[in-house]
Chains A and B, each alone.
Chain A
């Protein structure tokens, strides 16, 4: 075991982690621990764009953007945070341009902008061009540009280091962050990082679903680590299902495809979104479009022999436009489906995409221990966090924005804190939890296999807590997850070695997914209303009287060692906008 000491430790090197690192490295001695090489992070998969009311191509302003964000989130958004997001969007895009990001340009040479779902002029009048983009690889360009600037700033990375535990020490009755424990993939060695400030930027947890746009490595390790240490997770029942995943594979086809004029059609060739969202049509917000697709499928208007998908039709768009604006996703259709998008429509279905919930923070990125108390020295930003700017449903292009705005804020806040704070003592035997976890798995003679349990988990999540939910389906999922958690105790792995033991890490990642799936299902069961990404067929309406509040889930351990999820609630911050019915 090795012990390291840094002012600031950042967990994750996606967009949020590297944006934080650029700020924090300038101000404090910083280490970035990342389970992937930075440029492998899933921010690189983002396609469509990053929202900012630059008004380069048409009239726009940050207030309209704030409104769209609040409305898109079905009013569960904390409006003070949304306002910061929309205001700071402009500088954060300009910052990226100055760092070298090659945005697409207008004929005037300014940053070009395009339409995206849910973004409108003047509070819903008509779609607006707000998304700044670099072809359909905006996330790739953000990730590359941030990594380039990390190289420039000399950011210190520990690549292929898996953070597996959060260290917390109580001082004068206050829980404080003392550091993290990491496992080095190459050697199997365990490292304790003592740090004055820790920032989680470890991304999402979409791998508990089967059909998902998320990478194999998005297993919610950060959320699980803090949850296990008694800190809450906020709004975990809200997960976004993106309307256009490649049929059965889940690979994303950006909403930018519809922004460029693409149309969804059912088996009769009908442009069905006109029925569900007369104004915004195919560009209504994602939860609305995903439900409309499944309604078409359920009512027998789906495509294919099994009627289990619909089409994304780009055939009316000029090939030059597809080549210039959507080169990557048209290539995905060719590579993975053998389909030529110039001439044939692409089979799609909704795909599990984005976790709106996560580790609760305030607008400085400080992690909350309950509805109001900050955990000194602990920060989170990006998809792992819940500020909450996305509420019940995130608007497209608002996440690349979120990681830049709140990554930067968390980086600055953490570094400033670590410059004035003292180290907190490490708990006794700080690495014990990880040592035990690794040893238990390495020596287990159990009969359960990781892949089997993961598959069963993914199947139950897809079947029971996806686009449509009911009390019955969620209960089925809760029971199944409980069974899987029990069976997980009996899991064993084949690779007993120390070097690059990915077998071991997949087992640990599965444990994290199981914990988070339970939190998600239990939170969803208790929310007896429909709002944004959480749609209950048995409670189809939004219920502001009882549920205009954030869910806060805590892990409880009984005297006999039994674990359960305890739910509490937190008020929503409302400033300018009163809840209204959401129409597109």
Chain B
């Protein structure tokens, strides 16, 4: 088992920041084998770096075939949700020091979506569920104002939390209901429906609620809170789902 070793490389500050870390990565490439396997990589890395930096180090210095998605590298584009030490997180928003680097760090693709290669999954079903909730402002076109529509700061605040979603799928792919049945809309789609249902400018709340009243809709939610724990944007996902359920009962939103 790897233990942290202080390296003796000359560094600007007193001691070198580097430690030795093992990344244990779930590998799968159907061009090579139909089986997925675990592979270990050892790295010297500053624990203040991101898991994404570790994956890059592996790809750039050890094994160019390691495949994952990423772009922004600071938690804003939603490309790199993965299961890290058994929990869904963004690799670029997780620092190595925060996840117990004395033990091997396990990295797997998110669950419930088909794995295409290494950490890359098929995102299409996820985006389809999103599109199915009509994720766009719907208004009766009759009297469009020439200037902006007015909205009070309080009305704006009502749906603030759910506007933060970056569609990373960390929530949906942490949901046991979704693992068992991919037909379930999943938390992310409900979050995005919430964003419009509770927008005072939107006029299609009823329609959206009907969509979510479906057998694959909000009622499937078992309130396990996995989604809320997983969300890298700190969205109170379970609360949003509960608000949608409540709106379905009271028809008030």
Contact = CB atoms under 8 A, between A and B. Distances in A.
A206 to B, nearest CB: 12
A497 B77 contact: no
A21 to B, nearest CB: 14
Given A110-B148, A499-B30, A215 B59 contact: no
B166 A44 contact: yes
B74 interface: yes
A335 interface: yes
B27 interface: no
Contact of B136 (A39, A148, A215, A451): A148
Given A148-B137, A451-B60, A451-B61, A94 B148 contact: yes
B77 to A, nearest CB: 4
Given A40-B79, A149-B136, A151-B131, A251 B74 contact: yes
B147 A109 contact: no
Interface stretch (A137-145, A354-362, A381-389, A549-557): A137-145
B71 A140 contact: no
A216 interface: yes
A105 B144 CA distance: 19
A105 B29 contact: no
Contact of A499 (B69, B116, B159, B201): B116
Contact of A105 (B68, B71, B151, B196): B151
A579 B22 CA distance: 59
Given A102-B163, A151-B135, A40 B31 contact: no
B66 to A, nearest CB: 9
B164 to A, nearest CB: 7
Interface string A142-156: 001000110110000
B64 A336 contact: no
A132 to B, nearest CB: 9
Interface string A304-338: 01100000000000000000000010011001100
B78 A39 contact: yes
A93 B147 CA distance: 10
Contact residue range for chain A? Answer: 35 or more
Interface string A493-507: 111011111110000
A417 B166 CA distance: 35
B137 A306 contact: no
B40 interface: no
Contacts of B123: 37
A558 interface: no
Given A36-B71, A215-B72, A500-B67, A100 B148 contact: no
Given A148-B135, A494-B64, A42 B71 contact: yes
Interface in A163-215: 186, 215
A135 B233 CA distance: 14
Contacts of B60: 449-451
Contact of B77 (A42, A251, A502): A42
B143 interface: no
Contacts of B165: 144
A4 interface: no
A107 interface: yes
Contacts of A45: 72, 74, 76-77
Interface string A211-243: 000011100000000000000000000000000
B77 A215 contact: yes
Interface string A228-269: 000000000000000000000001000000000000000000
A351 to B, nearest CB: 12
Given A39-B166, A44-B76, A305-B12, A99 B63 contact: no
A501 B93 CA distance: 24
Contacts of A251: 73-74
The winner among B76, B120, B163, B164 for most chain A CB atoms within 10 A is B76
A500 B167 contact: no
Interface in B45-94: 59-61, 63-65, 67-79, 93
A20 B70 CA distance: 25
Interface in B74-119: 74-79, 93, 95, 116-118
Contacts of A135: 160
A475 to B, nearest CB: 29
Contacts of B153: 104-107, 109
Given A251-B74, A305-B12, A104 B156 contact: yes
Given A93-B148, A449-B60, 4 more contacts: A137-B163, A148-B136, A305-B13, A499-B30
14 contacts: A39-B167, A40-B69, A40-B79, A44-B77, A94-B148, A102-B160, A103-B148, A107-B153, A140-B166, A251-B74, A450-B60, A495-B65, A499-B30, A500-B67
